[in-house]
Structure 1
Amino acid sequence: MSKPPSTDLLGPQIPIADIVLALNQLERRPALAAAQELDNERLQALLETPELRWASAILMELTRPERLPVLETLAEDRMADLLQDLDHEDQEQILGRLSQATRTSIMRLMHYPADTAGGIMTTEFLQVPMSWNVAQTLQHIREVESTRETVYAIYVVNEQQQLEFVVPLRKLVCADPQAALTELWSGDSPIAVQALTDKEAVAQLIRRHDFLAIPVVDEANAIIGIVTVDDVIDALMDEAAEDMNRFGGAEHIGKPYLQAGFSTMIRKRGGWLAILFLGEMLTASAMQYYEIQLEKAVVLAMFIPLIMSSGGNSGSQATSLLIRGLALGEVRVGDWWRVLLRELPVGLVLGTMLGAIGFVRIEVWQHLGLYDYGEHSLLIAFTIWLALVGIVTFGSCIGSMLPFILQRVGFDPASASAPLVATLVDVLGLVIYFSVAAMLLTGTLL
């Protein structure tokens, strides 16, 4: 049974990151008991750490009056994320203990889809009127800093509460205290996003302009929140974990491996395995179709794993490169024909290279007496060579086109998993292999 961490490990001098690491190694009950030993300030910092394993369970324990300040001061975007992991009754219990303003703000955050700017933004930002000067703004920062998650920049609005321009904190601190905020404005229009903007598009904007935060505005250009760089990093790490699971031929389980239940593991993995199994049944059907050729030239069966794996590997390589390119915005759906024209010669060269290796291997084994391929060993070697050229080229082309097709029809390109590409190439790879064999070996082995 897990033991609670020692008092020394929970002391005020211990970094929160180390406490999170210690609590994550405990089971639920001792982890909750240990978290209760922290004071309100450190408990709040603990709950705001995304890596905390038992965060939602710890949140439910904050029902005592002395713990209510933690609920009120917890970052609203983090609170919204934690509430998403609870059932409706528990959500209502927590929301009922918050002030009306905080509750309204958190419920609005929970309304936005998780993969949008609204789903990852925080409503704790610093906004001031454009009639203020630098001294007034700095004084306002001192007064409200403790209630704001970050103060990377100051968002300046007009009388209609519309965003006019953004002043970086560094520029504000270095300016003349009596200077008007408008004197710090370069004249450029502020860069902002809508609440329903995809989080990957937000990440690209932050990366392109080297922002620490980007404002989120509504239809009237009024600020409703900001997306900070740490929010983007957390969101993209979750997206990467989801894509990695899909690329391995499974669905994202949405929680740490050891916390996932047995039924969850079966449900998330079984569907993909069934789809891939049905696909591989087509491979068996293709082999049955060429059964007569296999009976006449059993030696051809020896190279089936080589042929199939080479095509699948080339397809998986192309798929990986294109998924990355689409994710980073390096390639767009309209570029599919340019990609195809690029992958076609690449596949031909790679196939020729692998085919040459296979050709040399067969001839060396034949002449050294390591294996007797018969009197037609040269024809067999040429068959393998040409088959690999065709299959690797086909694998590269289908592997590069599949992410485009999936994105075009509205699916995540990461669904073009390596096992899926390999299954597609396996079936048609056999057709290519035996077609080449029939062309070169008819009248001799066939």
Structure 2
Amino acid sequence: MTPTPTVETITSLIQEGELFKLKNLLRTLPTAELVSLIENEEEREQLIIFRLLPLKLATEVFEYLDLEVQRHFLENLTQDKIADILNEMSPDDRTALLEFLPANFVAELVQSLSEPERRVTLQLLGYPEYSVGRLMTPDYIAIRENWTVQQVLDHIRQHGGQSETLSVLYVTDLRGVLLDDIRIREFLLAGPGVRVRDLMDRRFVQLTADQDQEEAIDIFRRNDRVALPVVSDQGILLGIVTIDDILSIREEEDTEDIQKLGGSQALDEPYLNIPLAGMIRKRAGWLVILLIGEMFTATAMGFFEQEIAKAVVLALFIPLIISAGGNAGSQATSLIIRAMSLGELSLTDWWRVMRRELATGLMLGAILGVVGLLRILLWSRLYPGEYGEYYWRIGFTVGFSLVGIVLWGSLCGSMLPLLLKRLGADPATSSAPFVATLVDVTGLVIYFSFALLFLRGTLL
């Protein structure tokens, strides 16, 4: 087996001008390795390598490249080369690329397509931005129910090269209405004279062109399919969506949710590519909102200014108290948003979630409360006078406050995503920092309420 060439080897061949040797070497590499090699090279070397690839291989590599690399190639390759690659690309991958480019550039590129490919591309771009229609490809194998297995296999040999996948074949009538989908293994195991209708069970899962892409992700996950048909309102088969496109959308959705959970807007470009001004714009808004929220913490502390003045020792435990509530809220938020993303929870489960978090928050709070109480008692024994003569009361204040704040943080963190979903907003917007800020303010009220309960008549 020939060892895989390293980036250094490729660069060395380019610098030495051994382009013929490099061209032969590149032809022997699988698509995945070529993609990795190109993305690890500098821009100049990337172009040289790509220009040396034959058209079919170049198209396969191009489809898997990062969108930024694709855009770099489109800006630097000849018009003929661009037209050849775009015409060879699968329609769904071409649509994903064109969505990423400026409108004036897209108009120019669309004009370079052949008439059939231009018609398909404009049709896909005509669907709503986040709809299934933007993901589908019209490249599939359609068969008739009166055909024999032998006719189906002959049809695959003749037209299968243009199909996105051969794993599933689609049975349609003369009007193009979808009747069934059948896995290829059924035909491979059946006799050549068996009719397609004898293999049909007319049970199939379908998508609609206007359906939201997130719904399609859930349908793929529940049905364990590598491809699903897309139909019109009349049931006519328009195209198919394959698992590779769904995985790409899933990655984009997860990335967006994680970025929002961190307390910023989702980035439109990779981290290292987004302009500094864009980065600041995406992050500044949330930081300002969170800062304003935290200002209410100072307001709450000002409300209890007299209590703090009388018992300065209470101020020592404020960071401990509010951080515990914020951490509990962040945990609950992350768990609920992920469960909703995976389809494990719906809005109708809100009462089950609340009951579960009531029990969980109470037990977690009790654990932290005991730890906080023991810490104060231990320090009072090791360092007598550290917390004064009422250290037991201070210990109970901290312990019960932790129970209340952790319980409240768990409830806020679990209910807020469901509330936002009910209002039609993105649940990920209830980011961990936002929940932590909310719990910080309310946590102070809980803490000083317990302080008044246990210390009234002594320190207060």
* TM-score above 0.5, yes or no: yes
Structure 1 equivalent of residue 255 of structure 2: 241
> Is this contact kept in 2: 1:124–1:225, CA < 8 A?
yes
| Correspondence list, 1:174-323, <5 A | 174-186=189-201, 188-323=202-337
| Correspondence list, 1:119-130, <5 A | 119-130=134-145
Q: Deviations over 1:385-442 (max 9, x none)?
A: 1101110010011111000111011111111111011011001001111111111111
Shift of 1:370: 7.2
Instruction: Output the CA distance in 2 between the equivalents of 1:16 and 1:52.
Output: 16
> Is this contact kept in 2: 1:246–1:415, CA < 8 A?
yes
Q: Deviations over 1:271-328 (max 9, x none)?
A: 1111111111111111111111111111111111111111011111111111122112
**Tell me, what secondary structure is at the counterpart of 1:343?**
helix
Instruction: Output the CA distance in 2 between the equivalents of 1:406 and 1:27.
Output: 44
> Which AA in structure 1 matches 2:232?
D
Shift of 1:207: 2.1
Moved more, 205-214 or 113-122: 113-122
Instruction: Output the CA distance in 2 between the equivalents of 1:37 and 1:6.
Output: 15
> Which AA in structure 2 matches 1:427?
V
Instruction: Output the CA distance in 2 between the equivalents of 1:32 and 1:289.
Output: 65
Moved more, 390-399 or 130-139: 130-139
Shift of 1:216: 0.8
Shift of 1:197: 2.0
Instruction: Output the CA distance in 2 between the equivalents of 1:31 and 1:251.
Output: 32
Q: 1:98 aligns with which of 104, 113, 125?
A: 113
Instruction: Output the CA distance in 1 between the equivalents of 2:192 and 2:415.
Output: 58
Q: Deviations over 1:196-238 (max 9, x none)?
A: 2222322222222221111111101011121111111111011
Q: 1:6 to 1:208 in 2, by over 3 A?
A: farther
Q: Deviations over 1:119-156 (max 9, x none)?
A: 22222111122232222221121122222221221111
Shift of 1:70: 2.2
| Correspondence list, 1:128-207, <5 A | 128-186=143-201, 188-207=202-221
Instruction: Output the CA distance in 2 between the equivalents of 1:96 and 1:320.
Output: 46
> Which AA in structure 1 matches 2:85?
V
Instruction: Output the CA distance in 2 between the equivalents of 1:59 and 1:148.
Output: 25
Structure 2 equivalent of residue 82 of structure 1: 97
Shift of 1:361: 0.4
Instruction: Output the CA distance in 1 between the equivalents of 2:72 and 2:193.
Output: 50
Shift of 1:172: 1.4
> Which AA in structure 2 matches 1:387?
S
**Tell me, what secondary structure is at the counterpart of 2:179?**
strand
Structure 2 equivalent of residue 400 of structure 1: 414
Structure 2 equivalent of residue 20 of structure 1: 35
**Tell me, what secondary structure is at the counterpart of 1:144?**
helix
> Is this contact kept in 2: 1:355–1:388, CA < 8 A?
yes
Moved more, 103-112 or 400-409: 103-112
Shift of 1:254: 2.3
Q: 1:310 to 1:19 in 2, by over 3 A?
A: same
Q: 1:6 to 1:169 in 2, by over 3 A?
A: farther
Q: How many residues are paired up? A: 444
> Which AA in structure 2 matches 1:100?
E
Matched, 1:109 2:124: yes
Moved more, 158-167 or 51-60: 51-60
> Is this contact kept in 1: 2:177–2:237, CA < 8 A?
yes
> Is this contact kept in 2: 1:191–1:215, CA < 8 A?
yes
Shift of 1:364: 0.4
TM-score normalized with structure 1 length: 0.95
Q: 1:21 to 1:6 in 2, by over 3 A?
A: farther
> Which AA in structure 2 matches 1:126?
I
Q: 1:347 to 1:149 in 2, by over 3 A?
A: same
Moved more, 92-101 or 261-270: 92-101
Percent identity between the two aligned chains? 40
Moved more, 410-419 or 375-384: 410-419
Q: CA RMSD in A?
A: 2.0
Moved more, 108-117 or 347-356: 108-117
Structure 2 equivalent of residue 72 of structure 1: 87
Instruction: Output the CA distance in 2 between the equivalents of 1:129 and 1:255.
Output: 45
Q: 2:431 aligns with which of 382, 403, 417?
A: 417
Q: 1:383 aligns with which of 369, 373, 397?
A: 397
Q: 1:16 to 1:71 in 2, by over 3 A?
A: same
Moved more, 203-212 or 227-236: 203-212
Shift of 1:249: 0.6
Q: 1:414 to 1:6 in 2, by over 3 A?
A: farther
TM-score normalized with structure 2 length: 0.92
> Which AA in structure 2 matches 1:153?
V
> Is this contact kept in 2: 1:391–1:429, CA < 8 A?
yes
What are structure 1's unaligned runs of at least 5 residues? Answer: none
> Is this contact kept in 2: 1:117–1:196, CA < 8 A?
yes
What are structure 2's unaligned runs of at least 5 residues? Answer: 1-6, 14-21
